[in-house]
Chain A
């Protein structure tokens, strides 16, 4: 945000909106981190915590929607203010989906944790590191209104996509002689898939951050386009 608004209630509402987005973002990151940790350390109780804590993320999404609608109705924001409200509401939607993926990972980690140890689980860690970095950068692009960082995420996500394909190929090859471990290998494949989707959602947040800082719409188009573009 630029200078303070003359009508200070607008500042208060904007700050509240942004604070709630940041809170939701930190909870989502924590959920994802704990979901992966529960997989790698076979900590079933931690997986249960992740599943339970998702409710808080869902509630924050509703709260952010409510705050955004309230600002739109009361203050008719324009320019940067309008873009901040729109971006924050979209961001809450993307974060909620990321947290859902963390829950999916935790549910599968719980099942794996209750059965035989899977050495293949270690292949998930590099994917998580890449997805986590994408998410961290996306959040930074939003908080700092850093369009360069936001715009760079798409190419960074290509690395995650490539690594995801390699992991899927490896896990699929193990399925052929799985000796009763097929179900757990399928869990790992779906966990890898969730991480790949988290990368895509981080890219969405990065694209929205470009819109936030420059009013430039880069979705579906590698070329820069102006307001009202693709």
Chain B
């Protein structure tokens, strides 16, 4: 199993406030890696470093360290940010389909990339919606508004929109936080399917979710990576007492 994302001694600050301290970890290719930890521990900041979406925040920057994706330094000056974000897609906590049709949502990224051929777009839409386990539910209403879908369907549509551009990596920042338990299970099932094709990094507050669908788990606290390992090891026999306290609910 190769390394998809290599994070080395990353320090990150919002202005003068340091929020990540010397974080180092290797995220394996085509596996699901979960980031867990209390609110404010830096897990969302770290995941947002991977596609440099933090760059949009004034004063926010990686102050030291490096991140390589498949051996490419994502901070090198000549890096094409648009290409980085195509290769590293992101799904957010609150599903955010555009106020367009289901079809237009899925092919949005491809249109931005300049694909105009209708057959190619149709093919990509069907493929992405099938991969997102949504095709059967929407194939007869592709040109109706995406906002008419249920919450779970909208989130799967957002996943379809991300994978339509065939990224290498899919980042998910609490993708089920706004979903009911059944919609959550569908997304989790989808995540375990998608790892055949993509490297997935998921931030979650739901520990059961981490145990159900991740291969590796990283526990973060106060901007530091406290423990990182196989998910079963982390949840059966954590090495660090802080990890033990957090996952058993005996923190603080």
Q: Which residues of A contact B (CB under 8 A)?
A: 2-7, 10, 76-83, 215, 226-228
Contacts and interface: CB of A to CB of B under 8 A. Distances in A.
B39 to A, nearest CB: 14
A81 B238 CA distance: 12
Q: Which of B232, B233, B235, B250 has the most CB of A within 10 A?
A: B250
B117 interface: no
A227 B249 contact: no
A5 B236 contact: no
Nearest to A7: B249
Interface of B: 207-208, 211, 232-233, 235-238, 241, 244-245, 247-252
Contact of B236 (A4, A10, A76, A215): A215
A192 B237 CA distance: 39
Contact of A79 (B208, B248, B252): B248
Contact of A6 (B211, B232, B250): B250
Given A3-B245, A227-B232, A228-B232, A79 B251 contact: no
A5 B237 contact: no
Which secondary structure dominates chain B's binding surface?
helix
Given A79-B238, A215-B236, A10 B249 contact: yes
Contact of A80 (B232, B233, B244): B244
Given A4-B250, A6-B251, A10-B249, A78 B232 contact: no
B163 to A, nearest CB: 30
Which secondary structure dominates chain A's binding surface?
loop
Given A82-B236, A227-B232, A228-B232, A2 B249 contact: no
Q: Which of A3, A4, A78 has the most CB of B within 10 A?
A: A78
A2 B251 contact: no
B138 to A, nearest CB: 33
Given A2-B241, A78-B211, A227 B236 contact: yes
CB-CB nearest 5 A-B residue pairs: A215-B237, A3-B250, A78-B235, A5-B249, A227-B237
B165 to A, nearest CB: 36
A218 to B, nearest CB: 14
15 contacts: A2-B244, A2-B245, A2-B250, A3-B250, A6-B249, A6-B250, A78-B207, A78-B235, A78-B247, A79-B236, A79-B244, A79-B248, A80-B248, A82-B236, A227-B232
A5 B208 CA distance: 17
A226 B239 CA distance: 12
A76 B247 CA distance: 10
A226 B229 CA distance: 14
A227 B238 CA distance: 11
Nearest to B243: A79
Contacts of B237: 79, 215, 226-227
Contacts of A80: 244, 248
B246 to A, nearest CB: 10
Contacts of B211: 78
A106 to B, nearest CB: 40
Contacts of B244: 2, 79-80
Contacts of B241: 2
Q: Which of B208, B238, B249 has the most CB of A within 10 A?
A: B249
Nearest to B251: A6
Given A3-B250, A3-B251, A78-B248, 5 more contacts: A2-B244, A2-B245, A76-B208, A77-B248, A228-B236
Nearest to A4: B250
Contacts of A7: 249
Nearest to B207: A78
A5 B250 CA distance: 4
A228 B233 CA distance: 9
B232 A81 contact: no
Contacts of A5: 248-250
Given A2-B241, A215-B236, A79 B249 contact: no
A4 B252 CA distance: 9
Contacts of A6: 249-252
A135 B250 CA distance: 32
A215 B250 CA distance: 19
A74 to B, nearest CB: 12
Contacts of B235: 78-79, 82
A121 B251 CA distance: 56
Q: Which of B236, B238, B248, B251 has the most CB of A within 10 A?
A: B248
Contacts of A83: 236
Nearest to B233: A227
